[in-house]
Amino acid sequence: MTKFDITRRGVLKTGAIAGAGVALPTIFTKRAHAYTNEPTGDTVTLGFNVPQSGPYADEGADELRAYRLAVEHLNGEGDGGMLNTFTYGSGAKTELSGNGILGKKVEYVTGDTQTKSDAARASARSMIEKDGAVMITGGSSSGVAVAVQALCQEAGVIFMSGLTHSNDTTGKDRRANGFRHFFNSYMSGAALAPVLANAYGTDRKAYHLTADYNWGYTTEQAIRESTEDIGWETVNAVKTPLGAGDFSSYITPVLQSGADVLVLNHYGGDMVNSLTNAVQFGLREAQANGKDFQIVVPLFSRLMARGAGENIKGIFGSTNWHWSLSDEASQTFTRSFGEKYGFPPSQAAHTCYVQTLLYADAVQRAGSFEPCAVVEALEDFEFDGLGNGPTLYRGADHQAFKDVLVVKGKENPESEFDLLEIVEITPVDQVTYAPDHPQFAGGSLGSCNNGA
Amino acid sequence: MFGLDRKDLTLFLVVVALALFAPFLLNPFPSDSGLAQFNAGYPDLMQRFVIFGIFAIGFNILFGLTGYLSFGHAAFLGVGSYAGVWMMKLLTMNVIPAIIISVIFAGLLSALIGWISLRRSGIYFSILTLAFAQMCYALAYSVLTPITGGETGLQLNLDDPRIIGASQTAEGNIPVPHLFGLEMNQTWQLGMGGWEFTFSAGYYLAAVVMLVSFYLAIRLFRSPFGMMLRAVKSNQQRMNYTGLNSRPYTLAAFVISGMYAGLAGGLMVAMDPLAGAERMIWTASGEVVLMTILGGAGTLIGPVLGAGLIKYLENILSKINKGVLEQWFAVMPDGIDTFLVTIVYPFIGKGWHLTLGIIFMLVVIFLPGGLVEGAQRIGKLFRRTRKPAATDDPEHHPKPQPHVGE
């Protein structure tokens, strides 16, 4: 048993300690900055949050290479890359001159998202709380992008998303502090549909296999709506679990369904496996409804094409950027990336590099790292010379509008990187939509957040 | 005091001190030194330490006491998180209702899963819990997308119908979780020379909850109920033959530990209001098993230490990249520095799993009792050198068993 003896001296002592305890917080300096992680020294820290493990580790590694290259160029090392081609809508050259951002040397920290929203948020939070990152960028899946974007909104830093293709990122989950340069499912559909109509006719019956998560849903919806607009019929849409190694049980019913086109709304390893299964089942040689059976893959990437190998030949898809583009900016970027790493960059690398430059430029123009000033500088910002032709960062939803590439698996590739050929560059007008388009409805940017 | 004996009280007070002074203890290096990389005293990681500590304490009540190895505890954490976020979406941003509802939902789910799974023991029990957890994950990831947000995770929106409190702030942003007005992401900085210490409101809430759960766990370990659970572990058959029905005890332990997991889930969303399906995947369940074994199963403090070690490796080691390594070894002569970078590189960054695997192997092989056993051995080493005569026992008195709390 315990017994408490209350004495006058004891009460005084306790009172003194309690008083000191209450007074203690006043000596703490509550963050005196105007906004979260205001860079006060002669350096500024950016956070590169990419998947270094998990299903999209390949993309993540390529993104990280692009970020390192971008930092080099911003700090005036290397050949300057696309800083030399980056121009504004008015035709003026970028204000970035290779002496960092606003004269501050660019430093960076990296983290592993593991392609999980939880891990991605943990690593982004540690960059913000521990390393003082003023901007977070990266990611290779939409779930992660949406989660980190929401976190950055709360914390009051800018988020420049990497590879994220789902409509939701700038649709129902859009945030004022987040910006997306990459294209989206709707754009893929809008760009692919006319090409498909040309190549395969308007009287087709499509069968969708869809990865069973948000990106799969929005892509299926976008492709369905666009192809139904040109007269196609959707026979069936089947959801497949993410990461299923073997898709044969999903492929078998396709030929009996009366469909003559198979749309694979898969990405990464799933797409490689499902396409390989489909080819093994002889779908490409098959005939249905008196026509040749066809396969379509809405979102292509070079890394996927390499995984799928031979099977990808002649298959249509869309992509954000490809290194074989002949404009000066793309060539400049491919050259400086190739010189540093020995192979051409992927579309993930391209979008990440561009996002870093766009952020740096916006800060330079705004004259401040303050998130709200950066948001203002980026909204309705027109630029060119970053590989996609004239581009607009629309203020209403923070989505970049630019040309979309429709590509086809190359019949006679010359190297392991030369796997896709560009069929058509779909002009931006054809893929532009209203900010409140039904596929994007339900979201609201809110207002920009400067944080503490 | 508090109904604890002297040894337990000392242990509890040590944990209290560790929790309260964590911002100092975890930031041993000045913030502009090269070693600042290893500082763990920032709010997010400190919160993770205590939250996963709670998770592991709860898991240890089941695994450490009854020996039932559940491979599905992440499901309860996940369900707690989802329930907590829904509470914030529908009722209020105050974290108390969210945490309470998390515990309740996790308790209900664990009662259901436990009721079915506890019909079997050993490996069959583990497989059943694993299967249930994977079902929960699959449901959350795709089937129940309207409720769980699917792959993106469940998050707050600007148009949530919050009954108490506004659905958005005056500036048009999503409100922050708070405890009666004290916002969870509130921090105070204390600069002392080169050191900078961060005190976060969220961390201290989580730490207080952790201390309460730790205290409850001590009481439970020392109670007659805890003794029953130990009996289940040592020989369930003999217990059954003596006429005792062990099912109610194991089920109660299962539900309690499920509620601890739910509490951890609720706290996680209180700190960061997003619930992702990944926190229910089987590797997350495996992680808590690792934490418990690494720290020392069946000990009081062990799981907390294990949780701390794993979260530290995950968050600190995974952030060291090649550039940082090159900086460290830049002082070495050419050739040697690249050699060192090549040697160390596989163990840092994305290779942190490899490091964790090696540590885990070493601990299991050399310290079967976990980190706690390591600490005991070191302690014994010092005690022996100080007073070797104390072990002298010519009459062979029965020796006291090592205290489980050590």
Substitution target in B142, B151, B267 with the highest count of A β-carbons within 10 Å is B151
Interface of A with B in 16-55 (CB under 8 A): 25, 27-31, 52-53
Is A22 a residue whose pLDDT tops 60?
A: no
Interchain pair A242, B274: CB under 8 A: no
What confidence tens digit (pLDDT) does each residue in B245-295 have? Answer: 999 999 999 999 999 999 999 999 999 888 888 889 888 899 999 999 999
For residue A390, the model assigns a pLDDT of 92
Closest CA to B405 of B362, B377, B376: B376
Is A8 a residue whose pLDDT tops 80?
A: no
For residue A1, the model assigns a pLDDT of 45
Cβ atoms B288, B392 nearer than 8 A: no
Q: How far apart are CA A265 and CA A260, in angstroms?
A: 16
Using alpha carbons only, what angle is made at residue A198 by residues A194 and A200, rounded to the nearest 5 degrees? 110
Contacts of B105 (CB under 8 A, 6+ apart): B79, B80, B82, B83, B262
For residue A26, the model assigns a pLDDT of 41
For residue B56, the model assigns a pLDDT of 95
For residue A29, the model assigns a pLDDT of 45
Cβ atoms A126, A179 nearer than 8 A: no
Pick from A153, A154, A213: CB nearest B142: A213
Q: Give residue A267's pLDDT band: very low, low, confident or very high (50, 70, 90).
A: confident
**Full set of structural domains in chain A with CATH:** 43-183+323-397 (3.40.50.2300), 186-319 (3.40.50.2300)
Q: Which tokens in the block code for residue A385?
A: 């010379």
What confidence tens digit (pLDDT) does each residue in B37-50 have? Answer: 888 888 899 999 99
Is B120 a residue whose pLDDT tops 60?
A: yes
Is B160 a residue whose pLDDT tops 70?
A: yes
Q: How far apart are CA B315 and CA B327, in angstroms?
A: 20
Q: How far apart are CA A253 and CA A251, in angstroms?
A: 6
Average pLDDT of the residues in A100-124 = 89
Residue B141: closest CA among chain A residues belongs to which residue?
A213
Q: Give residue A14's pLDDT band: very low, low, confident or very high (50, 70, 90).
A: low
Q: Does A110 touch chain B (CB under 8 A)?
A: yes
Contacts of B406 (CB under 8 A, 6+ apart): B7, B11, B299, B372, B375, B376, B379
The pLDDT > 90 percentage for chain A reads 56
Is B400 a residue whose pLDDT tops 70?
A: no
Closest CA to A443 of A396, A401, A400: A396
Q: How far apart are CA A185 and CA A166, in angstroms?
A: 6
Beta-bridged to residue A111, according to DSSP, are A49
Query: A111: helix, coil or strand?
Result: strand
Q: Give residue B124's pLDDT band: very low, low, confident or very high (50, 70, 90).
A: very high
Pick from B168, B276, B319: CB nearest A118: B276
Contacts of A336 (CB under 8 A, 6+ apart): A69, A73, A78, A79, A80, A81
Model-level pTM? 0.86
Cβ atoms B85, B273 nearer than 8 A: yes
Average pLDDT of the residues in B13-19 = 93
Substitution target in A38, A42, A118 with the highest count of B β-carbons within 10 Å is A118
Name the residue with higher pLDDT: A33 or A94.
A94
Tell me how crowded residue A379 is: count the other CB atoms within 10 A of its CB.
17
Interchain pair A29, B188: CB under 8 A: yes
Contacts of B258 (CB under 8 A, 6+ apart): B58, B73, B76, B106, B107, B109, B110, B111, B113, B114
Q: In B275-298, which positions are buried (b, 16+ CB within 10 angstroms) versus exposed (e)?
A: bbbbbbbbebbebbbbbbbbbbbb
For residue A28, the model assigns a pLDDT of 45
What confidence tens digit (pLDDT) does each residue in A156-171 have? Answer: 999 999 999 999 999 9
Using alpha carbons only, what angle is made at residue B156 by residues A138 and B59, rounded to the nearest 5 degrees? 85
Contacts 24+ apart (CB under 8 A), B364-369: B364/B293, B369/B296, B369/B299
Minimal CA separation from A438 to chain B, in Å: 17
Average pLDDT of the residues in A352-374 = 94
Q: How far apart are CA A140 and CA A142, in angstroms?
A: 7
Interface of B with A in 166-185 (CB under 8 A): 168, 171-174, 176, 185
Residue B351: closest CA among chain A residues belongs to which residue?
A53
Q: Give residue A24's pLDDT band: very low, low, confident or very high (50, 70, 90).
A: very low
Average pLDDT of the residues in A259-287 = 89
Interchain pair B176, A212: CB under 8 A: no
Cβ atoms A426, A186 nearer than 8 A: no
What is the radius of gyration, based on Cα positions, of chain A? 25
Using alpha carbons only, what angle is made at residue A93 by residues A445 and A181, rounded to the nearest 5 degrees? 30
Pick from B48, B199, B276: CB nearest A116: B276
Q: Which residues of A touch B272 (CB under 8 A)?
A: 121, 125, 151
Residue A175: closest CA among chain B residues belongs to which residue?
B173
For residue B277, the model assigns a pLDDT of 86
Interchain pair A242, B150: CB under 8 A: no
Interchain pair B158, A446: CB under 8 A: yes
Question: What DSSP line would sit under B187-235, residue for residue?
Answer: EEEEEETTEEEEEEHHHHHHHHHHHHHHHHHHHHHHSHHHHHHHHHHHH
Contacts of B120 (CB under 8 A, 6+ apart): B128
For residue A394, the model assigns a pLDDT of 94
Q: How far apart are CA A344 and CA A333, in angstroms?
A: 9
Interchain pair A52, B318: CB under 8 A: yes
For residue A306, the model assigns a pLDDT of 84
Interchain pair A446, B350: CB under 8 A: no
Interchain pair A151, B150: CB under 8 A: no
Interchain pair B141, A213: CB under 8 A: yes
Q: Which tokens in the block code for residue B309?
A: 């070690």
For residue A25, the model assigns a pLDDT of 44
Q: Which tokens in the block code for residue B122?
A: 């050993």
Pick from A126, A150, A168: CB nearest B274: A150
Phi, psi of A29 (to 5 degrees): -90, 105
Q: How far apart are CA B190 and CA A31, in angstroms?
A: 10
Interface of A with B in 65-84 (CB under 8 A): 68
Q: How far apart are CA B280 and CA B277, in angstroms?
A: 6
Task: Write the CA distances from B44 to B30, B186, B269, B287, B292, integer angstroms.
Answer: 19, 12, 12, 19, 21
Average pLDDT of the residues in A403-409 = 92
Q: Does B138 touch chain A (CB under 8 A)?
A: yes
